[in-house]
A = this chain, B = another copy of it.
Amino acid sequence: MTSLFKKRTQKVGLPPGTLIHIGNKKNEPVKITVIDYNEKQFQEKEVDSIEKCFKYKDSSTVTWINIDGVHQTEIIEKIGKHFTIHPLILEDVVSTDQRPKIDIFDEYISIILKIPYYDDEKQEINIEQVSLILGNTFVISFQENEKYFFEPIRERLRKINYPIRKFGADYLAYTLIDIIVDNCFTLLETLDNKMNTIEEKLLGHPSKATLYAIHDLKRKLLFLNKSIWPLREVVGSLERGESPLIKNSTKIYFRDIYDHTLHILENIETFREMITGMLDIYLSSLSNKMNETIMFLTIIGTIFIPLTFITGIYGMNFKYMPELGWRLGYPIAILFMAGIAILMLFYFKKKKWL
Contacts and interface: CB of A to CB of B under 8 A. Distances in A.
Given A189-B5, A192-B4, A304 B315 contact: no
Interface stretch (A30-38, A57-65, A137-145, A276-284): A276-284
A185 B14 CA distance: 14
Contacts of A318: 314, 323-324, 326, 329-330, 333
A349 interface: no
Interface stretch (A44-52, A126-134, A255-263): A255-263
Interface string A317-354: 11111011111111001100000000000000000110
Contact of A183 (B12, B286, B314, B328): B12
Contacts of A16: 175, 178, 253, 256
Copies in the assembly, this chain: 5
Contacts of A27: none
**3 closest residue pairs by CB, A with B:** A13-B152, A311-B312, A314-B316
23 contacts: A1-B195, A12-B152, A13-B151, A88-B253, A203-B212, A205-B352, A211-B281, A229-B266, A230-B262, A283-B284, A284-B286, A290-B294, A296-B298, A300-B306, A304-B308, A305-B308, A307-B309, A308-B309, A311-B315, A313-B334, A317-B324, A320-B327, A320-B328
Interface of A: 1, 3-5, 7-9, 11-17, 86, 88, 98-99, 101, 103, 151-153, 155-156, 162-164, 175, 178-179, 182-183, 185-186, 188-189, 192, 195-196, 199, 203, 205, 208, 211-212, 215, 218-219, 222, 226, 229-230, 252-253, 255-256, 259, 262-263, 266-267, 270-271, 273-274, 277, 279-291, 293-298, 300-302, 304-309, 311-321, 323-330, 333-334, 352-353
